[in-house]
């Protein structure tokens, strides 16, 4: 099963240990699968809104701690934190959450959906387990190993607990995701995978540099979200666009130019998921100071992908903002012919196949 369903299994297993607990404390991350997983597992999500620190949206530890006091630790099934997320949100403060969970004797599950490809995220997991409590963490196979959607890895530092989760699976399962992963790992080899990770890190910096140049030329700026090792964003401060229509239009324009991995987040959207209504779903908070566009450097992304993306974004911004595209960036401005196999869309981090 994919990540969201694997999280359901983790929570169902925790229920065996804490039959009375019904709340899950969840620092807000606007991704539907992980929110739905809590509802599918039969628990009541308690949303902890993020704190804005500079451009970054971070864990509000004080709010988390207060909520624990308010609800009573024994009534809380677990805290579900997140490492990998779209900018401007940054990974949760894992060490502090793990420490709090240890002190209060509350289980801690981490959604590490696409974090396995980032040494920063895996380091956070390692540290959290070292200083505090971390019961299990879950990652997607397609997002980290470039296999088709359908699998995930449930991991933890306590072998018995991980085995217990495995045992809750009702019935037989498809071998396809394991087979896909095995074939991929054998063909890459350990060195091949490590090279992919190193290349990704380099691509992140390449994307960041080019995106900031492109943004500056369009009189926008790169959001300063240094805590996020995979995803980044640029502002879209457009005139007369308080309803975000024009910003959203930029997203559509990119999409029709085969760039589907970017997300445009503009104010004003309300979304209901599993009976819960979110203000500005997608923004990870009720109101972010500006509209913005995000892009991510995920494993498998190439320099050509970045160049194609920047070239198309430059043109779109020029068109919308009336800036001459020649002034934007030192990138190859000629659109290469579009082939399905090499569109940027397939390589940029998608929205999690919700
Ligand atoms: C991809 C993703 C998930 C899980 O999605 P699945 O389709 O269930 O694999 C959960 N949370 C985040 C942040 C994700 O990016």
Residue 12 within a domain: yes
Q: List, as residue ranges, the binding site for tRNA.
A: 130, 257
- Which pLDDT tens digit goes with each residue over 45-103? 999 999 999 999 999 999 999 999 999 999 999 999 999 999 999 999 999 999 999 99
Binding residues for substrate: 172
Query: What residue spans of 50-175 are helical by DSSP H?
Result: 61-71, 94-104, 119-131, 141-145, 159-167
Query: Using a 6 Å cutoff on CB, does residue 298 contact ligand 1?
Result: no
Instruction: Say yes or no: 205 and 77 in one domain.
Output: no
Contact 111, 82 (CB under 8 A): yes
Best mutation site among 113, 114, 144 for ligand 1, i.e. most ligand atoms within 8 A of its Cβ? 113
Half-sphere exposure of 279 (CA within 13 A, CB side): 8
Ligand 1 and 13: CB distance under 6 A:
no
Annotated binding-site positions: 130, 172, 257
For residue 243, give the CATH number of its domain. 3.90.1150.10
Residue 33 Cβ inside 6 Å of ligand 1? The answer reads: yes
26: CA distance to ligand 1 center in Å?
15
CB 88 within 8 Å of CB 284? yes
Report whether residue 37 contacts ligand 1, using a CB cutoff of 6 Å. no
Q: pTM of this prediction?
A: 0.90
5 alpha carbon – ligand 1 mean position (Å)? 9
Preceding peptide of 30 cis, ω within 30°: no
- Ligand 1 probe mutation, 27, 140, 149, 284, most atoms within 8 A of CB: 140
| 46-57 per-position pLDDT tens digit | 999 999 999 999
157 and 22 part of one domain: yes
List phi, psi (to 5°) of 133: -115, 130
In a domain, 353, yes or no: no
Same-domain status, 266 and 134 = no
Which tops the pLDDT comparison, 349 or 222? Answer: 222
Ligand 1 atom, smallest distance to 5 CA: 8
**Domain boundary, last residue among 176, 207, 239:** 176
The pLDDT value recorded for residue 93 is 98
From 142, 176, 210, the end of a domain falls on 176
Buried b (16+ CB within 10 A) or exposed e, 191-225: eebeebeebbbebbebbbebbbbbbebbebbbbeb
8 Å CB contact between 310 and 224: no
Q: Are residues 152 and 116 in the same domain?
A: yes
Q: Closest Cα partner for 299 from 170, 152, 145, 151?
A: 145
Whole-number Å distance between alpha carbons of 116 and 128 = 15
Q: Which domain range does residue 197 map to?
A: 190-348
Is any ligand 1 atom within 6 A of the Cβ of residue 309? no
> In the block, which residue shows the tokens 């039969």?
42
Question: What is the best residue among 3, 90, 148, 299 to mutate for testing ligand 1's pocket, by most ligand atoms within 8 Å of CB?
Answer: 3
pLDDT in tens, 191-212: 999 999 999 999 999 999 999 9
pLDDT on residue 325: 46
CATH number, position 114: 3.40.640.10
The Å distance, Cα 352 to ligand 1 centre, comes to 5
pLDDT in tens, 283-305: 999 999 999 999 999 999 999 99
């Amino acid at each position: 099963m994919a990540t969201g369903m694997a999280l359901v299994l983790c929570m169902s297993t925790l229920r065996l240990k804490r039959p009375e607990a019904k709340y899950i404390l969840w620092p807000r991350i606007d991704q539907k699968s992980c929110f739905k997983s809590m509802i599918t597992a039969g628990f009541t999500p308690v949303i902890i809104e993020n704190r804005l620190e500079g451009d970054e949206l971070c864990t509000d530890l004080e709010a988390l701690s207060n909520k624990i006091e308010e609800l009573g630790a024994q009534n809380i099934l677990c805290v579900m934190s997140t490492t990998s997320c779209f900018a401007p949100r940054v990974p949760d403060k894992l060490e502090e959450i793990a420490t709090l969970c240890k002190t209060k004797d509350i289980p801690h599950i981490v959604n590490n959906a696409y974090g396995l490809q980032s040494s920063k995220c895996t380091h956070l997991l390692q540290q959290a387990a070292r200083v505090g409590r971390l019961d299990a963490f879950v990652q997607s196979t397609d997002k980290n190993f470039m296999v088709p959607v359908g699998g995930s890895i449930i991991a933890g530092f306590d072998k018995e607990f991980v085995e217990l989760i495995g045992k809750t699976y009702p019935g037989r399962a498809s071998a396809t995701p394991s087979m896909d992963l095995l074939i991929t790992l054998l063909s890459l080899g350990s060195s091949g995978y490590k090279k992919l990770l190193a290349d990704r890190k380099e691509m992140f910096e390449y994307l960041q540099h080019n995106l900031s140049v492109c943004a500056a030329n369009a009189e926008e700026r790169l959001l300063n979200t240094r805590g996020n090792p995979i995803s980044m964003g640029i502002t879209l401060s457009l005139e007369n666009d308080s309803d975000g229509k024009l910003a959203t239009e930029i997203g559509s324009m990119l999409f029709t130019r085969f760039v589907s991995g970017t997300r445009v987040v503009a104010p004003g959207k309300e979304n209901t998921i599993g009976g819960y209504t979110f203000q500005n779903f997608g923004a990870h908070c009720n109101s972010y100071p500006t509209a913005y566009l995000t892009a991510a450097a995920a494993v498998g992304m190439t320099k050509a992908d970045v160049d194609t993306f920047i070239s198309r974004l430059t043109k779109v911004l020029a068109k919308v903002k009336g800036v001459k595209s020649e002034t934007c960036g030192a990138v190859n401005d000629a659109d290469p012919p579009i082939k399905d196999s090499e569109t940027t869309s397939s390589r940029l981090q998608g929205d999690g196949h919700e």
